[in-house]
Structures are given as structure tokens and as C-alpha cells.
Chains A and B, each alone.
Chain A
Amino acid sequence: MRELTYAQAIQEGFCEAMARDERVTLLGLGVPDPKGFFGTTTDLQNRFGPSRVLDMPCAEAGMTGITLGAALNGLRPVINHQRLDFALLAMDPMCTQAAKWSYMFGGAMKMPVVFRMILGRGWGQGPQHSQCLHSWFAHIPGLKVVMPSTPADAKGLLISAIEDDNPVVFLEHRWLHHIKGHVPAGYYTTPIGPARQARSGKHVTIVALSYMVLEALEASDRLQKEGIDADVIDLRCLRPLDANLIIESVKKTGHLVVADSATGQVGVSAEIITLASQHAFSSLRSAPQRVCFPECPTPTAPSLAAAYYPRSGHIMAAVRKTLGMETDETDLHIAPGVELDKPNPAFTGPF
């Protein structure tokens, strides 16, 4: 079976979409540069030319607005931001303009634009290079918000986002870029909306998104050795949200843990727990738990990062709590040499 990294899958997704539709245009600071956006845009300018793969001025708000106009006049632009933090300068074009465009003009125009942003932690990125603000975008009607966790979904959902006639926020966790998985060759789409049943189990529902899906799967592996079978749901899309899969799973297991790579307060995790409370209340046999970041900005020092990032052990502890089991102190043990702000031991920074 052919395996690609998540970053290669994104790059291949762009190749397929651009080869099929000449209106697809990529803009973003550094898109054609030698680093190729963490390898996700490598070689695209050579293949498709400088009029379709453009570097841009350091002007996030203006350039994002420009992509909206380009979309209205017939292009299918993807604007790329190497950090979500930079894209916050463009909240007006994303949330006040693009999200409203179809509605406020009574459906007169389509807004086929993709806002691609990289988020998540990494090697000393600190408070202003690692914000996970997907819940902000998921709060806005008129946007679609996509967060794939596997290479196959990254490619399929990217192509779907480009094909979509609406503004789509496409969010990649920095740590996912290096993971490998089977990626079908050729042009294919993964529908925006349905969540993915990542694992079936009967004892507890774990709902996770983006990078936290990996931690949830690791937690479920470790729990399985103790005879606990977790039903793991990879959300994939935050808007639209696949309420049915979550509700059905909670009805089956009676226990819910939500794992989000973000702070919890007023976030997606609250939304999932609300869904379960409203639609599966009588099935719940314990209080739902959530595993999220502490309510403070991301610290830079490795010692603080170790205290900041939740991992599979935290999910295990939450599962034990929701199942009424004793806390197991070894859940949170960090193996010697493991640094929690590094995606893998080989990573030495600085980017």
C-alpha cells in the first residue's frame, strides 16, 4: 500500500486539483519558497507557473480580501497562512465578509475560497506562534471548518474544500505534517461534514479532533490492554458538525470524553458535551469529561510545555474518571527523553 506523509498528501492534493481545474490559484507568503510551506507546496510553482502559485506581500488582511474578489470573478483561490496567528489580521475578510457574502446578498454570488492555516505547537513556538483557535471559526455561520487528522483525509478534504462553492477554513496541525499513512492516488474527494469512526468500542466514547485523534488512538490502544474498548470518533469537520455519529455513540457507550488541542472554555469540547446532554441525556451514565489545554497562553520553556500539553495519558485518566475507576498515576508518566513540544525525537528545530 502506498504511504505518504500528511504534508506530501496535501501537496498531491494541490497537484490533482490544479491539474483538473485551471482556476485553482494558490496565494500566500512563502508558498513558492525553498521550504515549500513545510513541504506542502513544494514544486507547485514549477509545475503550474507563477500566475497560479504566487508569493504575496506581507499583508494578510489585504491579501485575504483580494482572494475574495478573485473568487467572485471566477478563480478558485486558496490563501495560505503559515501560522494561524498571522491570519488573525484577516478576521474581517474571513468572518465578516466571506462568511456573510452569500447570505447578505440573497444568494447573488458564490464565494469559493479556501483559507488554509497551520496551527498547533512546536519546539518553542510559544504564545504567538501556536494558537489553536479553530473554535472561533467554527462559531461563524457561513464558514465551513475542516481539520483532517490523517494523510488520506488531508488530501480528500483539501480537494473537497477547493471544489466547494463556499468559504472553507482548512486547518492543519503542525505535528501532523510528518505522519505517514495510506493515501489513494489520483483525484478523489472526502465529503465535508461526516465524522470518521476511527475505532469501534462499547465502553466509552472518545471524540477527538486534529492532532488529538492520534493521542486518543494511543490512549485507546493502552486502554484495550486493560479490557476497555473505546469508540473513537475523529470529528474531521467542526462546521458542519456530524452530531448523529456522536449522539449514537454516546447512546451506545453511556460515557463521553472529548479531547481537543485547544483550551476548553467556550470551545468545541463544550459543543460536543452539549450535544450529548441535549440528545443522549438519558443514556449518559456519568458526567462527560474533556481533555484540553490549561487556560493560559502557550508557554515557550520546555519545562512549562511539559505541564501544558495534554496527551494520551490525560485521555486515559479522563476515561477512568468517567467509568468510575481509580486514578492510575502511571498514566501521566512521560518516558525519559520525550519532549512534549517536539513532534518526534529527530526534530531539532528551529522552524
Chain B
Amino acid sequence: MIAEKPNASLAASLLKGMVRIRLVEEAIAANYGRQEMRCPVHLSIGQEAPAVGVCAALRDGDQVMSGHRSHAHYLAKGGSLNAMIAEMMGKETGCCKGRGGSMHLVDLQAGFVGAVPIVGSTIPIAVGLAFADKTLGRDRVTVAFLGDAATEEGVFHESVNFALLHKLPVLFICENNLYSVYSPLAVRQPTERSIADITAGHGMRSEKHDGNDPLAVYEATLSAAQHARSGKGPVLLELATYRWREHCGPGYDNHIGYRSEEEFLAWKAKDPIELQKTRMKHEAIHDAEDMARFEEEVGAEINEAFSLARSAPAPSADGLLKHLYH
């Protein structure tokens, strides 16, 4: 019944995508103290909507790159959960065979070409992917996920300029969560100017959207991708969103004083998952039973991933120098 309503399946899949990421990240947080995942983690809890909305609007062959806070992007693009958890536990079955950890994720089968923690570094690389695609005549769009702080890096502007110059099929998806570690946007950028204003100044199609609304993100991305695919060049989407947990680690960090409890609660009230559920209930397309079943399935999937990772072999010290060169 419900599935027959227009957009019901899209709405449900956006919700499910966000719920799955939330549950995975909460499981990472819950297990983090066990010292099995001995690498820094940057959780995306609260920021699930951009990842899910953008990736839902992409085609299978399209490519994505990201930065340090990339679990959500990786999972939304179809990256292997088993390989991600194993990588965080430093196992040979990890997506980087234990050489990367949480801050280096890759899944070429899913079109996730890599995430690295140096802020801004993957932005030109993503533009280079699109440059090769254009040169070799492939019909493919590349997405560079970036944070607000990455727009302060010189390479961001250099990359935007080149993408515009060659009208490359690349989307710059800026998740503006207001903070670079603990430094608020207000001490880093003039308040009277938005990030989208800057790239509009470069001459690039630039839009601002609610980054906690997965449907708005999906529709904006669909339109931006069509623009890029048709040879009209790159687009920037600035998506307002917020991270709930600490910059790095599993806990909450409001008590250290860099942001107010009021601000945090105001954003928490804009939980993208609850917003999407409320909307679906309002449109009478929310299927609570289906969602409960889904959550149960995801729970089992997560348990399986952790259990597989725990029993997987650690990389052998004999292979220390392996993969240095091809």
C-alpha cells in the first residue's frame, strides 16, 4: 500500500541509509573503548543526510572522494561495511589491508576512490579524476566531499578554478558543520559572506541547502549532477549540518567549552533521521514495521561485521614493506 505512493520508496531508502549509518557509528562508539579499533575515528552522527542524499542521486559508475570524516560517505556510496570495520581493527581483511585505519578508506568496486585526513588534499585529486574522465570521453561524475574548513585551503580554490576552466564533471559537496576541530566558522571566515558566495565569485554554480534534509540534498544533487554531466561544468552545494559527537573520538565534547549546550540542542532537534520520519508520517508513507525489521537486519549486519573483523588475521609483519610500490 505505502510503497505505491509516489516517492515512498525513495523516502524510505533515504531514511534507511541514514539509519544504517547511525547504527554503525553508534556501534563504533560503543565498542571504541575496547581498544580493538586503535585509530582515531571521526564520527558522522548528525551528518548522515548529505552522504545519503548525495550518493542516492549518483549513478553506479560515478566516483566519490572524501576526507577524515568519511564513514558516512563510504557507506552511502556502497562501501563494504565488513571491510571498513576490519580496517579500523587493523586487519588484513580491511579495505586497506590494515595500512590505513579509519582515516584512509577505499572501495573501488563501489566507486569510493579514497579518503585521506589531510584537509583538502583529495579535492584536486577528485578534479583530476574528472579531468581524466573528460579526456577519455567517459560519462561519469565525480564528487568531492569536503568540510567548511577545506574551503579555506588554497588547493580548493585552485581546484575550483581548473574545474571551471575545463568544465569538468565534478561536484563539490561542502558539509558546513561550523567547526574545524574546535575552531568555529566565525573565527575563520567573515560572517557576512557564505562559502557559496565565494565559489559564486569564482563563477561557479553554487547553492545553499538544508544539509539535514536528505530529500533536499538528493534533489539538489540530481540537478547538479545533470548540469555537470551535460558538460556545463562543476557545481558546489553548501549543506548546513552539524556533528553531534566530539571532533575525534566516540564521546560528546560540549563540556570543554568551545560550543554551547543550547547550540548543540538546537541542532539535535533538527536530527535528520527524525525529520525524515516526521515527514514520512505526515505523508502517511512511514512503515514502522518495515523500519523495525530493517533496524534488526542492520543490527545483525553490524554484529557480523564486528565478529568477522575480530576473527580476521592481523597483517603479518613479513608484509611490512608490501604495497609500497606496484
A residues contacting B by CB (< 8 A) are 25, 51, 56-57, 59, 61-75, 92-93, 96-97, 101-111, 141-142, 144, 165-166
- Complex Cα spacing A63 to B155, Å: 8
Please, how many angstroms separate the alpha-carbon atoms of A297 and B253 in the complex?
47
Q: Shortest 3 CB-CB distances between A and B: which pairs? A: A69-B128, A62-B158, A65-B124
A contact residues around B129 at 8 Å (CB): 69-70, 72-73
Asked whether A104 lies within 8 Å of B158 as measured between CB atoms, the reply is no
The residue from A61, A67, A101, A107 contacting B128, defined by CB atoms under 8 A apart: A67
CA distance A240 to B132 in the complex (A): 29
Bound-state Cα–Cα, A103 to B142, Å = 23
Q: Which of A96, A109, A110 contacts B114 (CB 8 A)?
A: A109
Is the CB of B35 closer than 8 A to any CB of chain A? no
Name A105's contact: one of B96, B126, B155, B159 (CB within 8 Å): B96
Q: How many B residues are at the interface, by size bracket?
A: 35 or more
- A72 contacts which chain B residues (CB < 8 A)? 113, 125, 128-129, 132
* A107 in complex: contacting residue of B113, B123, B132, B322, CB < 8 Å: B322
**Would A104 and B96 be within 8 Å (CB), given that A65-B155, A92-B121, A97-B116 are in contact?**
yes
B121–A107 touching, CB < 8 Å:
no
In Å, the complex CA distance between A111 and B126 comes to 14
Given contacts A62-B124, A66-B127, A93-B121, contact A102 B116 (CB under 8 A): no
- Structural contact, B94 and A66, CB atoms closer than 8 A: no
Mark contacts of B131-165 with chain A using CB atoms, 8 A cut-off: 1 yes-contact digit, 0 otherwise. Answer: 11101100000100000000000110111011001
Interface of B toward A, CB cutoff 8 Å = 63, 94-100, 104, 106, 108, 113-114, 116, 118, 121, 123-133, 135-136, 142, 154-155, 157-159, 161-162, 165, 322-326
> B113, A63: Cβ atoms under 8 Å?
no
CB neighbours (8 Å) of B154 from chain A are: 59, 61-62
**Chain A residues near B326 (CB, 8 Å)?**
102, 107, 110-111, 165-166
Instruction: Select which of B98, B104, B125, B324 is within 8 A of A69 by beta carbon.
Output: B125
User: Is there an interface contact between B324 and A102, defined as CB atoms closer than 8 Å?
Assistant: yes
Known: A63-B124, A72-B125. A51 touches B135 (CB 8 A): yes
By beta carbon, the residue of chain A nearest B315 is: A106
Q: Which residues of A contact B104 (CB under 8 A)?
A: 104-105
Of B100, B125, B136, which contacts A74 at CB under 8 A?
Answer: B136
Give the residue of A61, A66, A106, A142 whose beta carbon is less than 8 angstroms from that of B131: A66
Residue of B at shortest CB range from A167? B325
**B124 A69 Cβ-Cβ under 8 A:** yes
The interface residues of chain B lying within 8 Å CB-to-CB of A51 are 135
**In the bound complex, CA of A105 to CA of B108 (Å):** 10
Shortest C-beta distance, A106 to chain B (Å), equals 3
* Centre residue among A63, A110, A142 by max chain B CB count within 10 A: A63
B128 contacts A68, CB within 8 Å?
yes
* Cβ-defined partner of B106 (8 Å) among A56, A66, A105, A111: A105
Which residue of A is nearest B159, CB measured? A62
A101 to B132, CA, bound (A): 18
**Chain A residues within an 8 Å CB radius of B132:** 69-75
A61 to B128, CA, bound (A): 12
A104 to B104 alpha-carbon distance, docked (Å): 7
Collect the chain A residues with CB atoms within 8 Å of residue B123's CB.
65
Tell me, in angstroms, the Cα distance from A60 to B183 when the chains sit together: 28
B162 touches which one: A57, A71, A97 (CB < 8 A)? A57
Assuming the contacts A105-B104, A106-B99, asked whether A70 and B113 have C-beta atoms less than 8 A apart, the reply is: no
Q: Chain B residues near A66: list those with CB within 8 A.
A: 124-125, 127-128, 131, 159, 162
Query: Cα distance A57–B166 when bound, in Å?
Result: 11
Cβ–Cβ < 8 Å partners of A166 in chain B: 325-326
Query: Looking at the complex, which one of A67, A69, A106, A144 makes contact with B323 (CB distance below 8 Å)?
Result: A106
Residue of B nearest to A97 (CB): B121
Interface centre among B100, B126, B155, B161 (most CB of A within 10 A): B155
| B97 lies within 8 A of A107 (CB) | yes
B158 touches A59 (CB 8 A): yes
Give bound CA distance, A103 to B114, whole Å. Answer: 13
Q: Are A70 and B131 in contact (CB under 8 A)?
A: yes
In angstroms, Cα B120 to Cα A97, docked, is 11
In the complex, what distance in Å separates the CA atom of A65 from the CA atom of B156? 11
- The answer to whether B323 and A102 touch across the interface, beta carbons within 8 angstroms, is yes
CB-CB < 8 A to B133: which residues of A? 73
Does A61 contact B94, Cβ atoms closer than 8 Å? Answer: no
